[in-house]
Structure 1
Amino acid sequence: MDISQDVKCLKGVGPKLLEKLNKCGIFSVLDLLLYFPRDYEFLRSNIPFNEIDEEDKQVLSCVCVGIDRDVRTKTGKTLTTIRFNYLGHLVLGKWFNQGFIKNTFKIGQSYDLMGKFKKVTNRLEVINPIIGVKMAKENEIVPKYSLKGDLSDKILIKLIGNCLEQITIRDNLPKYLLDKYKMTNLDFAIKNIHFPKGRRELELAINRLKFQELFTYSMKLLMLKKNLRTKNGITFQLVDELRDLKAALPYSLTDAQTRVVREILRDQKSPWPMNRLVQGDVGSGKTVVALIAMFNVVKNGYQATLMVPTEILANQHYLEAKKLLEPFNIHIELLTGSTSMKEKRRIKELITTDEPLIVIGTHALIQEDVDFKNLGMVITDEQHRFGVEQRSRLINKGRRPDVMVMTATPIPRTLALYVYSDLDISAIDQLPPGRKPIDTRFFNENERNSAYDLALDEIEKGRQVYIVCPLIEEDEDMKLNSVEKLYNELSDGMFRGIPIEILHGKMKPKEKDEIIGRFKNNETKAIISTTVIEVGVNVPNASVMIIENAERFGLAQLHQLRGRVGRGSYESYCFLIAKAKSENTKKRMEIMTTSTDGFYISEEDLKLRGSGEMFGRRQSGDEEFILANIYDDLNILKCAKSEARLLLDSDEPEKVKFCNEVKNSLERWSKYICFN
């Protein structure tokens, strides 16, 4: 089987199934094999009552002993409860909005129920269990995939299983590395990540594939840096107008901003291409530093571009750039997915000329038909949202342009040495004077109303409120607050009569911009949102940030969200509402309520790994990695980086041959996998 062939060639894949697979990003057989499970169900069947684990799903044979009358919940849902007996213990099976389920059961008959059984005193409760599950053996590990539409795990499992039966996977890492780190071979890893024989086998598979990703990532960065150091870049002169620009600023630069601007201008004067990471805390003033850098490039007769992850942020930077730079005759354009076709054509034609200008935009900047004639500088904002490949595609639109990446998520020094080793690092570690500290408070779930009472007080003063939830729609199993659930609750309750709106990533860009526009104009008093407002929303009148289920977010992400307030002259607040059951959660809430220093928080986050991810729970996936996480897998990253460096520096024939093979395929780590 050719793993590059289209999945439509596989048995059983018709037009409808092909469309479903394509929606998940599965186009080739290779895509299918690398579509790893997001989670696993560890199933056990018919085990003693005292061995039931609430975290794992169980399959229990239960006898129906009663059918209760349906009741209405506070949220308007219909709750159906069926009573069962399991080894002498009462089991309550609960189904929401599935009244028909009563017809499935007959008192006195036995049924196999699958779900997470929660112990309540001497009985069990299970929400929406699946009926009639038969297990092939007492213990099973079932893969669960991130799916769209009505594509099922069952179909995907069958397709992947059929492919793996027809393919032998040849290892591509040097044997000495496998032996040194006692890693399993690639064939074992790919097969056991989809169909693990046991927990130990799954752990071995995941660790091997994480090493594969991080080793490849390290090779990319090291070769990128080596390549840049051997090529001449553009030497920019420092123009006299820089003094005029600084004098025209409505504020003075901080010492930290001045230091970083000096480092950037020194790079611009150098004959080598700049490759610099600028990290700064929320509100530290990275944007003006970027504008000064691009100003000098354009005044030297070149083009500059700033790529950001969201249209909201692109619009904001565009307006700020026009206000600051247009008085100096700097031409500025905005290119995003929402830009009209006519306007896109005009901008694309313009950048193919010698016209010096700044283009601010989103991923639209890296489309193939965007061709810069004279690109001198590339800046990407919020670096963690762009993979190395995306950054490289933008860089390749110029002839060795200067490169600067910015992030408002401070990175611990230990981590930065490994993750951003291809970059020189600058830190804006100082906030502008006069910015008031944000009063951060923690509320247990039973204290939620107190947080909202304080928010209402601020609304009465004329201020505005952000409310962030981890989910868009209600999730019965996870029992987390969602945007839609909270909107209904507040609209009919504490915020009745107050103009509030919801905002989330599934909305169209135009709709999101309109909602943000109304909030900026103070037409809306509160926005209930997902983390889509984490980056780039700037409303000085907003003085309160409420974060629901704060225990579900990483420290760095909590700090980012908090940074949406405190941008005006008013006292500002961040209220963290969380279930503080674990010591880890209590410690994290303590860090947030006692510090507003993003660099300190990032170091503490590294120490507390295991409770989340560097940038919160994976909601849309990491741009760079399928499995690895640079925080949780720092030890693997250290080993992978060390081995990549040794391999690149080696003159042994076998190692040189391997390096040459790697250089020929740098698009994605999966391209390193060889199939026979």
Structure 2
Amino acid sequence: MLFVNQFLTIFRLFLAGKDVIIEKRQVNPVSQSLDTPIRYLKGVGEKRAALYQKLGVSTIGDLIRYYPRAYIDLSQPQAVADAPYDRPCAVVATVISKSGEQRIRRGLSLFKVKATDGASDFIITFFNAKYTVEALLPDTPYIFYGRMGGKLTRREMSAPMVLPFDPSRGFLAVYPLTAGLTNRSIAAGVAQALELVQGSVEDPLPDALRRRLGLCHSVYALENIHRPADGHALGLARRRLIFEELFVLNLAMASIRTGNRGRSGAPMRATAFDSFYGSLPFEPTGAQRRVIAECAADLCAAAPMNRLVQGDVGCGKTLVGAACAWFAIQNGYQCAMMAPTEILAEQHRRTLSSLLEPLGVRVGLLTGSMKAAEKRAVRQSLAAGEIDLIVGTHALIQDGVEFAKLGLVITDEQHRFGVGQRMALQQKGENPHVLVMSATPIPRTLALIIYGDLDVSVIDELPRGRQPVHTYVIDPPKRRRAYGFLRRYLDEGRQGYVVCPLVEQGELDLGLESAAEYAARLSAQEFAHYRVGLLHGKMKPAEKEKVMRAFSQGEIQLLVATTVIEVGVDVPNATVMLIENAERFGLSQLHQLRGRIGRGGGESFCILVTDRDLERLAVIRGTTDGFRISEEDLRLRGPGDFFGSRQHGLPQLKIADMLTDVSLLREAQDAAAELLARDPKLTRPEHAALRAQVEAMISNAEV
């Protein structure tokens, strides 16, 4: 194939450890399957295959879909005299002379090469590159790619990449790496893999769909994503592969949704909420009543409920969960609520007990830190049907936890759980109803990916009496004034938080405020006459619970904490929060932290301390709308860092970007819906390759 010849020419110099390689190409005429283990590639073997495994590459098919993270543009080389000082560039030049090896110290030697582009000369320095320098031939043009330095009259380049000159050369792929694998070795492996599977790559997209949307063939896309001829070819390849990934993802999520749409094992009948609402010590908002009605309709449908309840901090999602649990219990079923932390699980138990026990609901708790005898007693009560609603952590999905009649599963802060964990809890019953809740407002574009298998309800109204939190951004010199502000509210009987990004200073030497050292200093100095507590994620669960109980009961006035308080901590008397090194947090995370105050009806204040990133923090200062903040957070930080770590339980997108590829995402959704309307289970012969990709994506989803 013409493509293979061109492709191998580019990558010959990327073979093991050499910058310039002159050898004849060896072609393996044996066609290989996409499922062939990568260890069978020439030059890989067992040892290097283990390194590829760290990159998620196990087969030849994985390798050809291991996409570059960036490209080096070699299509427009610069003249030496015009080469910029501030960025890497490509220069075409021939070698005039070479110096001998100069040993700088043990293990380090350098070589000087003089080269010219015909109009200007420059000096190139190579380090520990004897064979590279020896391979450079006189009167032979090369492309030197690096950062040009030196003076106007004596230009210099240090340790450049060297490639044989080819006037048709365009873009050079740059791959994500791991220790032990170089860009050269990965590129050579990709070239070999593409040659070995020639004729084996079947386009999974239907021809009619490709023609209608103007998408190139998968072979063209794979060729040009790794070695694009020009910017136009790269654009065509990227658009095709991004669409394909989002299209398959939508089909996979639809498959999950269809799997959940079987007949429910917990059929329910309509029940009026009069007695539930009548027992509440407050009036629910209209949004809460609307979402509860939506859930009740789902609970009475033939298919099991699979609904996300999303809303801003303090909007009252727990009440919706309590109402759904009460409804299911009235129908004779048990309920389970899973929370990501023991602190939040214990808080939910207290809240749900206060709401439901007056109505005769028996509420239990199951967490990992409970004593063995306590866990055993809870498990026995669950199995015997003596507990109506169990609240817990991951302990709920452990072996040995059985229900007499599980009808409803509720997960809180869903983005902190994997799809596999949610399904593990569902499997404790016979196709139960599922309600997931999130206090992290998620932009619509991101929610389309993360919650594609769920119906969505939004609580867009805050309870009466809740006031917006006043937010200020100050620089470190104003910290003492902020301390005085804090003391004033503590003296009035209020409580406050100080939030730090680290636990101990030794964890990372970035000059950040450490929670442990900060708490010790405040206790000894600025807040010596106040009761100061410390809470962080490395404390044992019993210690955390003791501190939180003391804070909620007013025994601790000022709590110094890490982001362990980000989710669910509810102390209405806390009205002031000071966040150190605010630039280290995402906007959505700052909004979650800020949501821990202002829960008691009085004025509350959040003070962000930072000496940088003021423009970004102006967003959090200017609005309390969590959805607007999340959109801006996604725009500024990108989807990879939106939650601080990758969303668990979902396939990792290899090329699509949820921030920039929104239009393609919508096209993929529409196309997926149209295809499934004609072939719901992808059973037609022409959809076999597509079905295989969907099944692979579901099976590879992280749990």
Instruction: Note whether the superposition's TM-score is higher than 0.5.
Output: yes
Match in the other structure for 1:621: 646
Q: CA deviation at 1:314?
A: 0.9
> Are 1:649 and 2:687 counterparts?
no
Q: Which moved more, 1:569-578 or 1:375-384?
A: 569-578
Amino acid in structure 2 at the alignment position of 1:541: N
- For the residue of structure 2 that corresponds to 1:545, the secondary structure is strand
Would you say the 8 A contact 1:501–1:526 is kept in 2? yes
Correspondences of 1:107-256 after superposition (within 5 Å):
153-154=179-180, 173-174=204-205, 176=207, 214-229=246-261, 231-232=263-264, 234-239=266-271, 242-256=273-287
Amino acid in structure 1 at the alignment position of 2:594: R
Question: Which of residues 303, 310, 324 in structure 2 aligns to 1:272?
Answer: 303
For 2:387 and 2:459, locate their aligned partners in 1 and report how far apart those are by CA, in whole Å.
28
> Are 1:336 and 2:362 counterparts?
no
Amino acid in structure 2 at the alignment position of 1:539: V
Match in the other structure for 1:297: 328
Match in the other structure for 2:567: 535
Match in the other structure for 1:457: 488
Q: Could you list the per-position Cα deviations for residues 159-181 of structure 1 after superposition, in whole angstroms to 9, with x for gaps in the alignment?
A: 98999799677577437578857
- For the residue of structure 2 that corresponds to 1:432, the secondary structure is coil
- Structure with greater Cα Rg: 2
Q: CA deviation at 1:211?
A: 5.2
> Are 1:312 and 2:346 counterparts?
no
Match in the other structure for 2:138: none
Would you say the 8 A contact 1:309–1:363 is kept in 2? yes
Match in the other structure for 1:487: 518
For 2:396 and 2:65, locate their aligned partners in 1 and report how far apart those are by CA, in whole Å.
27
Match in the other structure for 2:433: 402
Match in the other structure for 2:662: 634
Amino acid in structure 1 at the alignment position of 2:486: A
Q: Could you list the per-position Cα deviations for residues 459-511 of structure 1 after superposition, in whole angstroms to 9, with x for gaps in the alignment?
A: 34343332334455669999573535872795498646355455444544344
Q: 1:329 to 1:476 in 2, by over 3 A?
A: closer
Question: Which of residues 492, 499, 519 in structure 2 aligns to 1:468?
Answer: 499
Q: Which moved more, 1:346-355 or 1:329-338?
A: 346-355
> Are 1:51 and 2:85 counterparts?
yes
For 2:488 and 2:564, locate their aligned partners in 1 and report how far apart those are by CA, in whole Å.
26
Match in the other structure for 2:631: 606
For 1:189 and 1:350, locate their aligned partners in 2 and report how far apart those are by CA, in whole Å.
57
- For the residue of structure 2 that corresponds to 1:546, the secondary structure is strand
For 1:407 and 1:619, locate their aligned partners in 2 and report how far apart those are by CA, in whole Å.
16
What runs of 5+ residues in structure 2 fail to find an aligned partner?
1-32, 73-79, 89-124, 129-150, 152-157, 164-170
> Are 1:441 and 2:467 counterparts?
no
Q: CA deviation at 1:236?
A: 1.8
Q: CA deviation at 1:311?
A: 1.7
> Are 1:516 and 2:541 counterparts?
no
Would you say the 8 A contact 2:64–2:222 is kept in 1? no
Q: Could you list the per-position Cα deviations for residues 358-384 of structure 1 after superposition, in whole angstroms to 9, with x for gaps in the alignment?
A: 121223333455443422111111222
Q: 1:422 to 1:329 in 2, by over 3 A?
A: same
Q: CA deviation at 1:564?
A: 0.5
Would you say the 8 A contact 2:576–2:605 is kept in 1? yes
Number of positions where the alignment pairs a residue of Structure 1 with one of Structure 2: 580
For 2:36 and 2:332, locate their aligned partners in 1 and report how far apart those are by CA, in whole Å.
44
Q: 1:203 to 1:357 in 2, by over 3 A?
A: farther
Q: Could you list the per-position Cα deviations for residues 554-578 of structure 1 after superposition, in whole angstroms to 9, with x for gaps in the alignment?
A: 4333222211111225431111234
- For the residue of structure 2 that corresponds to 1:399, the secondary structure is coil
Question: Which of residues 432, 456, 463 in structure 2 aligns to 1:432?
Answer: 463
Would you say the 8 A contact 1:183–1:208 is kept in 2? yes
Amino acid in structure 2 at the alignment position of 1:647: L
Would you say the 8 A contact 1:470–1:480 is kept in 2? no
Q: Which moved more, 1:153-162 or 1:643-652?
A: 153-162
Supply the RMSD in Å over aligned alpha carbons: 5.3
> Are 1:596 and 2:596 counterparts?
no
What runs of 5+ residues in structure 1 fail to find an aligned partner?
55-109, 114-121, 123-132, 146-151, 672-676
Q: Could you list the per-position Cα deviations for residues 74-111 of structure 1 after superposition, in whole angstroms to 9, with x for gaps in the alignment?
A: xxxxxxxxxxxxxxxxxxxxxxxxxxxxxxxxxxxx99
Question: Which of residues 539, 557, 571 in structure 1 aligns to 2:589?
Answer: 557
Would you say the 8 A contact 1:41–1:144 is kept in 2? no
For 1:390 and 1:34, locate their aligned partners in 2 and report how far apart those are by CA, in whole Å.
31
Q: Could you list the per-position Cα deviations for residues 284-315 of structure 1 after superposition, in whole angstroms to 9, with x for gaps in the alignment?
A: 21112211211121222111111222221111
- For the residue of structure 1 that corresponds to 2:606, the secondary structure is strand
For 1:503 and 1:190, locate their aligned partners in 2 and report how far apart those are by CA, in whole Å.
53
Amino acid in structure 1 at the alignment position of 2:360: N
Amino acid in structure 1 at the alignment position of 2:626: G
Would you say the 8 A contact 2:65–2:222 is kept in 1? no
Would you say the 8 A contact 1:648–1:656 is kept in 2? no
Match in the other structure for 2:76: none
Q: 1:431 to 1:530 in 2, by over 3 A?
A: same
For 1:341 and 1:38, locate their aligned partners in 2 and report how far apart those are by CA, in whole Å.
51
- For the residue of structure 1 that corresponds to 2:698, the secondary structure is coil
Would you say the 8 A contact 2:337–2:392 is kept in 1? yes
Amino acid in structure 2 at the alignment position of 1:318: R
What percentage of aligned pairs have identical amino acids? 35
Would you say the 8 A contact 1:557–1:615 is kept in 2? no
Q: 1:634 to 1:51 in 2, by over 3 A?
A: same
